[in-house]
Amino acid sequence: MDTIRFSIATHRGCYGECNFCAITVHQGRKIIWRGRASILNEARALTEHPRFKGIIQDVGGPTANMYGIDCARKEKQGSCPDKRCLFPKICSRLTVNHERQISLLKALRAVSGVKKVIIASGIRHDLILADKKHGAEYLKQVVRHHVSGQMKIAPEHSEPHVLDKMGKSGREELITFRDLFFDLTKRGKQNLFLTYYLIAAHPGCTDDDMARLRSFALRDLQLLPEQIQIFTPTPSTWSTLIYWTERDPFTGKACFVEKTRQGRERQKNILADRRTKKPPTVRWKTKKRNSHR
């Protein structure tokens, strides 16, 4: 309960729309965010709680850095029915500006009785990169003050055709973000790590794709990720639709789905096997990503 008791929800909704995630389905694509005064009042109230030790465990929502960032169209007309906000590329009508968040975090740090404010909610690294004016400053603030030990991001995979089935951005953004993160930690003389969340056995993903992901992790990220989950069909998601129909609903084309328990475990183990850190020999596939959405 302590994690929840001393956390502050700043907003709800998510326009990330990852195909395997149900958050957009039950919270909507429009971000509803609280006013700054209301959030600061809650922080002050927490400091009066007898069990509060000065640490706010999380300030965020489904995606922490969507606070205060949304497009004007949704207010009057709702979200576009035929277009996504972030995929396959960030919509030009979405004004990505982290200034409001930087200011809020600064104010929270200044609340008397608060020693540390952690951002435990997920952060979209592609949104940070899209904010040319304040993205780097936001990340700097997060790295300096709001992560403890490691920052978690969720690239989920490395292979373009699997990422396409997931509705996620590509590995180029991940590498750019990683470089920016380590540049900031180096300059700040901080010993911080990036933790990568990845999915095995997502519809469209084969053993070979997991082997390529392993090679990518070892060669480009220089580690073997530990946070690997096997895809679980969740009600109402596009990925679940692909899982059951074995067909991509956006193209109508057949899609490979690993459904056996052994096969799903095997996919995870291809990446998780820590006995050897040698990258497996695989053929590199460069497949163009769909732009059908």
Query: In the complex, which residues of this chain contact ligand SF4 (CB under 6 A)?
Result: 71, 73-74, 79-80, 83, 85, 91, 93-94
CB of 26 to ligand SF4, least distance (A): 18
- The closest alpha carbon to 201, from 278, 261, 131, 241, belongs to 261
Cβ closest to ligand SF4, residue 9 vs residue 80: 80
DSSP-assigned states of every residue in 197-218: EEEES-TT--HHHHHHHHHHII
Cβ closest to ligand SF4, residue 24 vs residue 158: 24
DSSP-assigned states of every residue in 134-169: THHHHHHHIIIII-SSEEEEEEE-S-HHHHHHHT--
Cβ closest to ligand SF4, residue 18 vs residue 217: 18
Cβ closest to ligand SF4, residue 74 vs residue 268: 74
Paired residues of 228 in beta bridges: 198
CB of 15 to ligand SF4, least distance (A): 6
CB of 35 to ligand SF4, least distance (A): 22
Alpha carbon separation from 23 to 28, 205, 266 (Å, rounded): 7, 23, 28
CB of 130 to ligand SF4, least distance (A): 12
Cβ closest to ligand SF4, residue 16 vs residue 122: 16
Residue 218, φ and ψ in degrees, nearest 5? -70, -40
CB of 232 to ligand SF4, least distance (A): 27
